[in-house]
Structures are given as C-alpha cells and as structure tokens.
Structure 1
Amino acid sequence: MKKLIVLFMLMVSGIMLAQTEPIKVVFDVTSSNPDVHRTAAKHLRLMAEAYPQSEFELVIYSGAYKMVDRKSSVAGETLTDIVKRDNVAIVICEQTMKRHKMTMDGLIPGVGSVPDGIYEIIMKQKEGWGYIKEAQ
C-alpha cells in the first residue's frame, strides 16, 4: 500500500509540473464570423489567465479584421482587458489593414500590427511556438 501511495504522489506531482511549464502559443484568426471572434477571445483570455508565465499572441488577418476594430468588434471588451496582460500580444496584419483602409487609431487600444500575418505565424512556429487555428 505504501508503494502505491508513493507512486500516486509521483504521478500527481509529475502532472502538476507538466501543467505549469511555460508555453508559447500563437492563435491564428482569419474568419469573419463573430462567433469565432468571441470564441478566440475567450480562449486567449482563459489560457493567459491559466498560464501567467506563458506567452500568447493572437494574429488577425484576412476576414477577421473586424475583430480588432474599435467600433465594431463583438469581442472588443474581452480584448481590451486581455491585451493589457504582460503575457499577451494581439496583432493585425498590415496588409489586411491596407486592404480595408484601417488605421492604428481605429483599432482596440493596445493592439499592434505586423507587416504580414502569415509570415508572423510561420516565424513563431519556427521559434517553437504552438499553433492554434481558430475557426468554426
């Protein structure tokens, strides 16, 4: 019985350590669907809160541009709060911004930009970041 308890304790401590190791995750959002925007924002918030020592980046491009539009975002309140966290970055593709005639002033405060959203994701993966495609 004593060996069983020790084995159980080792398994539990191993699981706990595995879940606290810092991770890096890039979220990819291209959908124009507001439900996808809400879900992606929720996933980002939950992950950032659960793993405060980890890093997260939300990359928005293509049809998802409204997700970070200050006036029309359905996830704006969540993103406004979550972008303030030290372990979260939210960025939009500058090519997408040009196509939709967006300016930095029209974005949710704290949202940044990258020259190319796809390139940003590829570089993050090359650096060992995990990848999550937010879609419906």
Structure 2
Amino acid sequence: MKNILLFLVIMVSGLTLAQNEPIKVVFDVTSSNPEVHRTAAKHLRLMAEAYPESEFELVVYSGAFKMVDKKSSVAGETLSTVVNRDNVSIVICEQTMKKHKMTMDDLIPGVGSVPDGIYELVIKQKQGWGYIKEAQ
C-alpha cells in the first residue's frame, strides 16, 4: 500500500512540474466563422494567463481576416486586451490584407503582420513551436 501511495505522489508531482515548463504555441485561424474567432481568442487569453512564462502567437489568414478588423471583430475586446501581454503576438498575413484591401490602420491596435501566414506557421513549427488549428 505504501508503494502505491508513493507512486501516486510521484506521478502527481511530476505532472505538476511538467505543467510549469515554458512552452511555445502557434494558433492557426483561417475560418470566417465568428464562433471560431471567439473560441480562438478565448483559448489564446486563457493560455497566456495560465502560462505567463510561455509564448503564444495567433496567425490569422484567409477567411479569418475579420477576426482582427477593429471595426468588425466579434473577438475584438478579448484580442485588444491579450495583444498587450508580453507573451502574446497576433499577426495577420499581408497577402490576406492585400486581397481584402486592408491596411494596418484597419487592424486592432497591437496586431502585427507577416508576409505570408502559412510560411509563418511552418517556420514556428520548424523552431519547435506547438501547433493548434482553430476550427469548427
């Protein structure tokens, strides 16, 4: 019985320590669905708050462009808050911006851009970042 109890204590300790190791996660959002935008913003906020020593990036491209449009974003309030955290970056693909005739002035303040969203995702994964596809 003591051995089982000792094993359980060691397992729980190990899991607790593993949750404190800093991670890097890139979120991929392409959907035009507003519910996906809300959910992705919520996931980003919760992760950034729970793991302040970790890094998170949200990459928006294709049909998701309205997610970071300051005039039409259903997730704008959440993104406006979370983008100011030191461990978060939110970027949109410049090709997507060009296609939808957007400028940096159209974006939620603090949102940046990258030349190509897919390339950004590939580079982050190559650098060892975890990958989350936000979809419904």
Which bin holds the TM-score, normalised by the shorter protein? over 0.9
Structure 2 spans left out of the alignment, 5+ residues: none
Residue 13 of structure 1 and its aligned partner are, at CA, apart by 1.0
Amino acid at match of 2:44: L
Amino acid at match of 1:109: P
Q: Write out the 4+ residue segments of structure 1 that deviate beyond 3 Å after TM superposition.
A: 1-5
- Which residue of structure 1 aligns with residue 51 of structure 2? 51
Structure 1 spans left out of the alignment, 5+ residues: none
Q: CA RMSD in A?
A: 0.9
- Which residue of structure 2 aligns with residue 12 of structure 1? 12
What pairs up with 1:28-39 in 2 under 5 angstroms?
28-39=28-39
Residue 46 of structure 1 and its aligned partner are, at CA, apart by 0.8
Residue 91 of structure 1 and its aligned partner are, at CA, apart by 0.1
How many residues align structurally?
136
SS of aligned partner of 1:73:
coil
Amino acid at match of 1:21: E
Alpha-carbon deviations, 1:22-70, whole Å to 9, x = none? 1110000000010000000001111111111111000000000000001
Q: TM-score scaled by structure 1?
A: 0.96
Q: TM-score scaled by structure 2?
A: 0.96
Residue 99 of structure 1 and its aligned partner are, at CA, apart by 0.5
Amino acid at match of 2:23: I
| Percent identity between the two aligned chains | 80
SS of aligned partner of 2:19:
helix
